[in-house]
């Protein structure tokens, strides 16, 4: 039998005794990576756009926004107000979570008034006739240092009177 080089042992280095873990650990690692990527392909880590809707007698509101995002990503949030009756001063009331740790690149159309009320941002727009739509688009980018969950509730008001609201959370992965 051929002699082995120094410091090598036949049982350990040829017959691979007590080294079963070296086979199974990499396999387990591959399984973990596969599971991780499966979650990513299922959009767990962002940034698939989800749609939420709320209906009331005066208007409907549709929100298109991602539930999960990652720092640096650019995305669009869309609010669609469908007026069932004339809205004189439609206003979107956005939680602080819509702005905390995010950069708003553009906003269209421009609001007529932007005020803060108890830490919430109230964006007031011009009148919307019955049957018409008001589509507000916000172009976002997540700041690189942002992570955690942001409460992003949006409410629709007309002349200060609440019409409806949608509860939405966004998770920012580190």
Partner 1 sequence: MDIVIRAAIVFIFIWVLMRVIGRRELSSMEPFDLIMLVMIGDLVQQGITQNDFSVTGMLLVGSTVALLTVALSYTNFRFPRLRPVLEGEPVIVVQDGKPIERNLRRNRITLEELHALARGQQPRDPFTRSTSRHRSILARSGIPKVCTGRRAKVKSRILPACPRLTTCLPCRT
Q: With the C-alpha atoms ordered 93, 97, 101, 106, is the resulting torsion angle positive or negative?
A: negative
Q: Which stretch binds partner 1 (CB under 8 A): 27-35, 57-65, 82-90, 148-156?
A: 27-35
**In the complex, least distance from residue 136 CB atom to partner 1, rounded to whole angstroms:** 23
Closer Cβ to partner 1, 1 or 42, answer by number: 42
Give 71's contacts (C-beta < 8 A, 6+ positions apart): 142, 143, 144, 145, 146, 147, 172, 173, 174
DSSP 106-120: EEESPPSEEEEETTE
Q: List beta partners, residue 82.
A: 60, 133
Binding residues for partner 1, total number by CB under 8 A: 21
Write phi, then psi, for 109 (nearest 5 degrees). -75, 170
Return the residues of window 49-78 that contact partner 1 according to CB under 8 A: 70-74
114 binds partner 1, rule: CB under 8 A = no
Among 3, 42, 57, 129, binds partner 1 (CB under 8 A): 42
Among 1, 3, 21, 41, binds partner 1 (CB under 8 A): 41
Any idea what DSSP says for residue 30? H
Return the residues of window 136-165 that contact partner 1 according to CB under 8 A: 141, 144
104 binds partner 1, rule: CB under 8 A = no
Closest residue by Cα to residue 155 from 104, 96, 91: 91
What is the binding site for partner 1 (CB under 8 A)?
30, 33-34, 36-37, 40-43, 45, 47-48, 70-74, 141, 144, 173-174
């Amino acid at each position: 039998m051929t002699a082995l080089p120094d410091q090598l042992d036949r049982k350990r280095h040829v017959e691979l005794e007590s080294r079963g873990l070296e086979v199974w650990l990499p396999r387990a690692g591959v399984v973990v990576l596969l599971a991780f990527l499966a979650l990513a392909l299922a959009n767990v880590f962002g940034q698939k756009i989800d749609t939420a809707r709320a209906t009331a007698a005066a208007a409907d509101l549709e929100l298109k926004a991602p539930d999960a995002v990652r720092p640096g990503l650019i995305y669009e949030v869309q609010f669609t107000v469908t007026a069932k009756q004339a809205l004189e001063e439609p206003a979107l009331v956005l939680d602080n979570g819509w702005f905390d740790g995010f950069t708003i690149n553009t906003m269209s159309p421009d609001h007529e008034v932007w005020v803060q009320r108890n830490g919430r941002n109230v964006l007031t727009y011009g009148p919307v006739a019955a049957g018409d739509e008001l589509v507000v688009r916000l172009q976002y980018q997540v700041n690189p240092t942002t992570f955690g969950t942001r409460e992003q509730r949006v409410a629709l008001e007309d002349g200060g009177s609440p019409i409806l609201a949608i509860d939405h959370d966004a998770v920012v992965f580190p």
